[in-house]
């Protein structure tokens, strides 16, 4: 699993690079603030309910949560399911709101 800072991720998004974002927070967290990722709560990943991203197995996925902890867990689980190009967004949406949204 790789990691990326919120600043580096923002640069990729701003440059127009095709980014596959996956939000592993709960629906209410996603509704409060999100950066456009596919909502796939960690509980669904734990239950192997990953249909929303199954077709992205060989593509780069940027996984984020509130602080980077749940997304790290999700990356480890997804690796065991055959996902090969996973990046954890360090600091999650707390860092994004602190450093990007001013």
N- to C-terminal Cα separation, the chain: 29
Check 22, 50, 63, 65 and give the catalytic one: 65
Within 8 A by CB and 6+ apart from 90, the residues are 3, 4, 5, 6, 68
The encoded tokens of residue 17 equal 């690079």
Q: Is 65 a catalytic residue?
A: yes
Active-site residues, by number, are 65
């Amino acid at each position: 699993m790789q990691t990326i800072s919120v600043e580096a991720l923002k640069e990729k998004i701003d440059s127009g690079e095709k980014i596959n974002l996956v939000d592993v927070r709960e629906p209410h967290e996603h509704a409060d603030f999100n950066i456009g990722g596919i909502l796939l709560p960690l509980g669904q990943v734990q239950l192997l309910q990953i249909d929303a991203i199954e077709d992205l197995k060989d593509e780069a996925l940027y996984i984020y949560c509130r602080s980077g902890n749940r997304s790290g867990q999700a990356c480890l689980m997804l690796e065991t399911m055959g996902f090969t190009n996973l990046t954890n967004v360090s600091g999650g949406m707390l860092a994004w709101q602190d450093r990007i949204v001013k």
